[in-house]
Every structure is written in structure tokens, then in C-alpha cells.
Amino acid sequence: MKLKTIIYVFVLVLSTGFTQAQVRFEAKVSKQKLGVNERLRVDFEMNKDGDNFNPPTFEGFRVVGGPNQAISNSFINGKRSYSKTYSYFLSPKSQGKFTIKQATIEIDGEIYKTLPIEITVTAAVRKPNGENDADNVASENVHLVAEISNTNPYLNEAITIVYKLYVSHEVSITRSWREIDSPKYADFWSQSIDNRGDSKIYEGTYQGKDYRYVILRRTVLYPQKIGKLDIEPLVLDVPIDVMSNRRDIFGRRLMTHVNKTISAGNRTINVKPLPVKGRPDNFTGAVGDFEFSVKTNKDRLDANESLELEVKVTGSGNLKLFDLPSLSLPSSLEVYEPIADDIIRTTYEGMEGSVSETYTIIPQYKGNYPIRPISFSYFDATTETYRTRTSEEIIIDVENGPKPATSNSETDLSTTNKTAVLSKDQFKYIKLEADLEPMNKSPFFRSKLYWWMLGTPFLLIPIFILFVRKRNQRMNDMDAIRLRKANKMAKKYLSEAKINMAQKGLFYESMERALHNYLKAKLDIETAEFSKERISELLLKRNVAGAVVNDFISLLKSCEFARYTPTSNVTIQHDFQKAIEVISTIDKQIQ
């Protein structure tokens, strides 16, 4: 008897575990018989999450609400219970017998179907049951909608998705809702627009009915892939106040509080590739509407004096997602790495503003140097055409300085396709008078010149060996290499300050700008972060010695105060040398 009992309990436990492990997907209706003036609620419920849910067509009914999605997770006695429900609210079109057909869903790679349910619709009833059910009323009168500006954009074309919460006048929301699931924009560059300051309630229509609505969130998206891309839904838990049939002692109807989980639903974007026909060779992926310019801060200067050349794109479009055209100049113009400067803001229409690169250029020789026109191409999604903007030609006139050798100039021109106008002094007069010597000279063989030319190579061998050794020592001395590089970097940034040493105000302005530009390049920070505490923190994190950091901060303070206090030439020279030493030291220590 005991053995039979043990076997029975064992079989019961196994069967219970197997039943709990089974996937359940079923359809439930609020009633199977209703009047033509009543409404029917249909729930498709599953105990495990699935994909590709397909509802039936609901023949004979009109969908007046839904689909609403509800998810429930609970733990009872250490056991997890999961439930996900899709709810629809239906209104009969006529009397008769109708069938709620099968719905399907894919769970773990398997397709599951619900059983058909037969519904009988009778004549209208005097008091429709369930019409004022709080849960039904809340589901029918609150909707979360994701509105997309363009569901068929081009690659890298801006689209805006706006999440709106519609609430009818029959219900109200007096408490804050809670965000359960936020959308993740895979395959998109995205940025949400801050909407916290916009608490305005708007009036509008939804499915032909008057509603109030609020804008919860605006997000700007730039698709980075072509084809069909999915946007996950936003899911909220919303507390809703619904008018009940109960009344207080004064006869006023009481409100019933209902919590509903509502979803904006999945949305799909079909992204088109940019057309191949008419695409320029210099196209780098810019999509929008842009203006392009190339300009310098001066076009007349002396050799070894610096000038700045700015390449700038202004307009609206994917400003952060393309490269600016590169710059090509003669080798006789020393060009440093450009400093990028982006002024971009994201609005409801997308990114707008400007991106630029500023080059520091120092000519080495006297002459005229033309900077040929530079082209920038972009795709205009409005007209669906490619457009090209071309800059004007710029002539750099170097008035004073050394004159380049003819051979070097020719080399420069052949490699850069640039022309430099050389001084007429480069051309010499032809010597017209002959300087003849008699032929009865002593023979060259065994002459002093002969023996000197023969022995000189042997004398040069030790000198060459010594030179090679010194050179190898110089190349292997990493500290010396870093010092030379650091000194070159310091001179690059302080070249403008050196030029203005005769004028105190301009000198300190130039040196302060040089120190700031150096920090921008090394620490990758914006001007808004240029506080002394922030600079000290970043330099110390990059293993720069504390004493060097203090010297750098001291230089910044000198630049601030020296412009408004008397300063001698000795002090200016001292500050300039100190700036070179500090930048050189930071460049060697920073990691």
C-alpha cells in the first residue's frame, strides 16, 4: 500500500512539472453571447514571451480598441509566473453567429495557435453589461502612439519619432506614469530631444474621436543601414482614473483607479540606399542641405609668419557623420594638423550648425602661392540629387623672405601641381667674356691634385664611421627624440605669440589662445571646460607631474592679469621661454 502511494505521488509530481513546463497560448473572451449594442473583449494570453504575433481578422466585428499589451511577472513561493496578453475591444456589426478565428505566435521557434471561439450576437439589450467596466473603459480611452515623420527615408537622412499619449475626455490621469521598457535604436544614430520643459496638453483627434494628448518624447534618428529596420516599442505603466457607478453621500460619482500597461507597438522603417547614378567621386556620405567655404585670416604675410585657413561646412543634415575635404598644398608651405571645431545642435528636424577644420600654415619662401578651389559634395534628399559646392581660389602673397632655389621650386611644383612666382633675381646674365687658359700645363697624373683626390676618400672613412655612430646614438636616444618633438610642438602653438612679442596685449592673447589650443588637441576638451580645476585634474590623470601642472596654471594666470598690468620686455621674454618649456615637458610626460 505504501509503495503504491509513493509511486502515485512521484507520477503526480512529474506530471505537474511537465504541465508547468508546457507552453500555453489561448484566447479568452469576456462573453460568448452579447447584444449588438454591447462590446466584446478578446484576450490572447501566453505564459512565455514570443514573436510574430498575428491576430485573426475579427470578421463581423469592428475593432474599437487595441491591441493593448500587458505583461505580468510574479514570484510566489520562489516560483516565477509570467504572463503576456494582447487585448482587443470589438463592436458587433450585426446580429448573428460569428467565429473568432485562430491567432498565431512563434515561441522558441515553434508556431502556436489558439482555438476558434463562437460568439452569438443578439438584438440590442436595454442595459449593456460590461460597457462601464473600469478596465475596459481605461483600455478604450488611453492610447500610446509612436508617430514617425518618414517611414521610407534614405540612408543617413534624418527622421523624427514622436511618442504621444492620447487620453479621452471620459477618463483622467492624475498620477505619474512609469516607463517599463525603453526603445533601443539598433542600426540608427539617435539623439533624444529634451522634452521636460514641455508639459503642455494639446487637443487632437485619434481614430476619429476627440482626445487630449501630451508629447512624451521626441527622438531624432539617422539610419546607418539600408533595408527594413525595426524600432522597439515604448512601454508604460499608466495609472488611470475612471468614473464608476458608485456615488458619495452627496450624489457625486466616484472615481475608480486602474493601472494599465500600454505599448506604442513595434514600427518598421524601410531605408533606401543612396542612388549610384550621378554620385560624385569626392562624395563622403553627407546627406542634407549644406553650404561650403574655404577662407584664410590673411592673404599677405612674410615668410615664417603663420596664417590660419578654415575649411567649413554649414547647414542641416548628418553633420557628425561625414568627413570634410582634405587640403593639399605645396611642400614649401609648412602645414600643421588641423584643429576641429563643431558647433552642432539637434532640433526636431535633425542636426544643424557647422563643422570646421582650421589649419595653421607657415610659408618658408617668398612668392605667390595659389590655393586651388576645393569641392564638397552632398546628397539632397528633398530633390533626390547630388550637389557640389566649390570654394573660390585663394592667392597667398609672401612678400618678404628667402628665395627658393630653382631646383627645389621645380620639385615642389611637380609634386603638388602648384605654381610659385619666383623673383627675377633668380635668372643670371650670361657671361660674354672668355677666360681662356694655356694648354701647356703640367699633367694631372701624379700631380698634387691627383694625390689629394686619391687620398681624400680614405681620410673621410673614419669621419663617416664617427658620423654614423653619432647618428645611431642620436636615433636611439628616446628622451632626445621626445624633446625635439616636444619643442617642435611648442613652437607650432606659440608661433603667433612670438610674432606679437613687441605688443604686450596681443602677445598674451596669442599665448593664451596657444595654450588653450594645445589643451584642445591633447586632452580633447571643449572651451566650456577650460576651468583651472578641470585642467589640473585632467593633466594629473594623464601622469603629468604636479609641479609642471602648477607652472601651466601659473602661465594661464599670467595671461589673464598681464594684459591689464604693466609688464616689461624681460617678463614677456621670460613667460615665452617658460611656455615653451612647460609645453615641451607636458608633451613628454602626458600619456
Distance CA 34, CA 212 (A): 31
Q: Coil, strand or helix: which one is 105?
A: strand
DSSP 382: T
Buried b (16+ CB within 10 A) or exposed e, 420-447: bebeeeeeeeeeeeeeeeeeeeeeeeee
- The architecture of the domain spanning 288-416 is Sandwich (2.60)
Q: If you search the block for the grid coordinates 681620410, which residue do you land on? A: 459
- The answer to whether 356 touches 340, Cβ cutoff 8 Å, is yes
- The answer to whether 398 touches 330, Cβ cutoff 8 Å, is no
pLDDT at site 563: 64
Q: How far is CA 282 from CA 277, 379, 387, 528, in A?
A: 14, 12, 11, 34
The percentage of the chain sitting over the pLDDT mark of 70, rounded to a whole number, equals 79
pLDDT at site 470: 80
User: If pLDDT is split at 50, 70 and 90, which confidence band does 252 have?
Assistant: low
pLDDT at 122 over 50: yes
Count H helices and E strands in the chain, helices first: 9, 31
Q: What is the pLDDT of residues 450-493, one digit of tens each?
A: 888 888 888 888 888 888 888 777 776 665 565 566 556 666 66
Q: What is the pLDDT of residues 265-324, one digit of tens each?
A: 888 999 999 999 999 999 999 999 999 999 999 889 988 888 999 999 999 999 999 999
For the four alpha carbons of 524, 527, 533 and 535, in that order, the dihedral sign comes to positive
Give the residue with greater pLDDT, 364 vs 125: 364
pLDDT at site 355: 95
Domain 478-589 top-level CATH class: mainly alpha
- The answer to whether 89 touches 260, Cβ cutoff 8 Å, is no
User: Which residues, including other chains, have CB under 8 Å from residue 37's CB and lie 6 or more apart?
Assistant: 124, 125, 128
Give the residue with greater pLDDT, 340 vs 446: 340
Longest dimension (CA), the chain: 144
pLDDT at site 19: 41
pLDDT at 510 over 70: yes
pLDDT at site 489: 61
pLDDT at site 515: 80
Q: What is the pLDDT of residues 55-83, one digit of tens each?
A: 998 998 988 877 878 777 766 666 777 88
Closest CA to 269 of 147, 180, 383: 147
Q: Tell me the whole-structure pTM to 2 decimals.
A: 0.49
pLDDT at site 311: 94
Same topology for domains 22-129 and 288-416, yes or no?
yes
- 53, three cell numbers: 504575433
CA atoms within 13 A on the CB side of 415: 11
pLDDT at site 326: 85
pLDDT at site 131: 47
Of the ranges 12-16, 122-126, 343-347, 507-511, which is most confident? 343-347
Q: What is the pLDDT of residues 393-441, one digit of tens each?
A: 888 898 888 887 654 444 343 334 443 444 444 444 455 566 666 666 6
The percentage of the chain sitting over the pLDDT mark of 90, rounded to a whole number, equals 26
Residue ranges per domain, the chain?
A: 22-129, 137-271, 288-416, 478-589
**β-pair type (202-206, 288-296):** unpaired
pLDDT at site 245: 63
pLDDT at site 528: 61
User: If pLDDT is split at 50, 70 and 90, which confidence band does 560 have?
Assistant: confident
**Environment class of residue 354 by beta-carbon count within 10 Å: exposed (0-12), middle (13-18) or buried (19+)?**
middle
| Helix ranges restricted to H, 423-566 | 448-476, 478-499, 504-523, 532-541, 546-562
pLDDT at 84 over 90: no
**Distance from chain centroid for Cα 154:** 18
Q: Coil, strand or helix: which one is 459?
A: helix
pLDDT at site 123: 78
pLDDT at site 459: 80
When the pLDDT of each residue in the chain is averaged and rounded to a whole number, the result is: 80
Q: What is the pLDDT of residues 141-190, one digit of tens each?
A: 889 999 999 999 999 999 999 999 999 888 888 788 888 888 888 889 99
Q: Please give the average per-residue pLDDT across 116-141, as a whole number.
A: 74
pLDDT at site 137: 79
DSSP 528: G
Domain 22-129 top-level CATH class: mainly beta
